[in-house]
Amino acid sequence: MKAFTIDRYGKKSALRLADVPTPELRDDEILVQVHAAGVNLVDAKVRNGEFKLIVPYRLPLILGHDVAGEVVKVGRRVRQFKPGDAVYARPDDLRIGTFAEFVPVKEASLALKPKGLTMEEAASIPLVALTAWQALVEKAKLKKGQKVFIQAGSGGVGTFAIQLAKHLGATVATTTSSGNVALVKSLGADVVIDYKTQDFEDVLRDYDVVLNSQDNKTLVKSLSVLKPGGKLISISGPPDPAFGKEIKAPGFVRLVMRLLSAGVRRKAKRLGVDFSFLFMKANGSQLREITRLLDAGVIRPVVDRVFPFAETNAALAYVEAGRAKGKVVVKVK
């Protein structure tokens, strides 16, 4: 099969289009013919080697964390899916590889594709939707009447998280540029801050939850907008000791995580708020909950551009430039 691979870690290094063997199927996996694959900033971060300590990938590696496609074969223990099913997923960490013609996905991580979405729209959903769900529903337990600050509202996670938070009954604040104000308001944002002309910490007060996706400077400033007892959930780091314990990281890796997050944890404790790091996980049952919201029209996908498979490198460069409104997708079939 054709696939885009990396042979070594390195910033700005191009993915290589290669002929590789079709992956072997394990008993609990489904082989999916890829129709479309979402492109995420995490793909660039993996290529750059930023997750070497967290996820021990073997090189050469096929990138790609989102898939929509068709089931072509099932493992002998699989019961919920059959050949011909239209499906979508965020594959598990050590089984990523959706920038390819075929990808194996664990049965527990797969869901039937939302009926009303195209393959390209469906491929834009899993990673950002599961990130938003695990942050706002699982970790934050966001409730009706609470206030949540979602950074970078016009990005992939932001466009989904705003809609999910509104569905949960929260008041939503977000940051974006002036050109994207109409977009984030159409998704449900109540308070929109132009990050080029306003400082969010001067505008926001007494928030229950912050979903941080930006740099460390923004992370530290975000602590001050929370009320006592509020929660800051960061998807951009730094990893904390609880995460190190959760993934059973080696002792020296846990020490690194403890040191990297020490400053923000100290400040959070001083302010009486909670800081935690989220590294989202594949989860088919959560994806089925998300499918119900999509099928009901409660949440809609936001797709900026669809690139042909041959232009996967251009798609990744476009995502890295940070100008995409919503998600970027490559059409494989």
Per-position pLDDT tens, the chain of length 333? 999 999 999 997 899 999 999 999 999 999 999 999 999 999 999 999 999 888 889 999 999 999 999 999 999 999 999 999 999 999 999 999 999 999 999 999 999 999 999 999 999 999 999 999 999 999 999 999 999 999 999 999 999 999 999 999 999 999 999 999 999 999 999 999 999 999 999 999 999 999 999 999 999 999 999 999 999 999 998 999 999 999 989 999 999 999 999 999 999 999 999 999 999 999 999 999 999 999 999 999 999 999 999 999 999 999 999 989 999 999 999
Could you list the residue range(s) of the whole structural domain that residue 166 is in?
128-277
- CA dist 131 and 92 (Å) reads 13
Note whether 133 and 263 are same-domain residues: yes
Residue 227 within any structural domain of the chain: yes
Note whether 132 and 265 are same-domain residues: yes
Residue 17 within any structural domain of the chain: yes
In this prediction, residue 131 carries a pLDDT of 98
In this prediction, residue 54 carries a pLDDT of 86
Note whether 152 and 223 are same-domain residues: yes
In this prediction, residue 200 carries a pLDDT of 97
Neighbours of 279 (CB within 10 A): 17
Residue 295 within any structural domain of the chain: no
Under a CB-based contact definition with an 8 Å cutoff, are residues 136 and 209 in contact?
yes
Under a CB-based contact definition with an 8 Å cutoff, are residues 95 and 106 in contact?
yes
Residue 261 within any structural domain of the chain: yes
Sheet holding 207-212, edge to edge: 191-194, 171-176, 147-150, 207-212, 226-234, 274-277
- CA dist 198 and 77 (Å) reads 55
Note whether 67 and 156 are same-domain residues: no
| Cross-strand pairs, 212 | 234
Under a CB-based contact definition with an 8 Å cutoff, are residues 228 and 272 in contact?
yes
Residue ranges in 154-246 assigned as alpha helix (H): 156-167, 181-187, 200-203, 216-223, 241-246
Under a CB-based contact definition with an 8 Å cutoff, are residues 238 and 217 in contact?
no
Note whether 24 and 100 are same-domain residues: yes
* Residue carrying the six token digits 């944890």: 265
CA 307 remoteness from chain centre: 19
Under a CB-based contact definition with an 8 Å cutoff, are residues 189 and 195 in contact?
no
Note whether 117 and 143 are same-domain residues: no
In this prediction, residue 29 carries a pLDDT of 98
CA 143 remoteness from chain centre: 22
* Backbone angle region of 173, left / alpha / beta, with phi > 0 → left and psi within -120 to 50 → alpha: beta
- CA dist 282 and 195 (Å) reads 32
Note whether 55 and 191 are same-domain residues: no
How many domains in the chain? 2
* Backbone angle region of 44, left / alpha / beta, with phi > 0 → left and psi within -120 to 50 → alpha: alpha
For residue 46, give Cα distances in angstroms to 37, 96, 101, 123, 152: 16, 11, 20, 19, 21
In this prediction, residue 193 carries a pLDDT of 98
Tokens, residue 198: 């306003």
- CA dist 205 and 13 (Å) reads 42
In this prediction, residue 13 carries a pLDDT of 86
CATH number at residue 118: 3.90.180.10
* Backbone angle region of 161, left / alpha / beta, with phi > 0 → left and psi within -120 to 50 → alpha: alpha
Note whether 40 and 97 are same-domain residues: yes
Note whether 55 and 184 are same-domain residues: no
Note whether 168 and 116 are same-domain residues: no
Note whether 80 and 163 are same-domain residues: no
Residue 286, phi then psi, degrees to nearest 5: -65, -35
CATH number at residue 162: 3.40.50.720
Residue 219 within any structural domain of the chain: yes
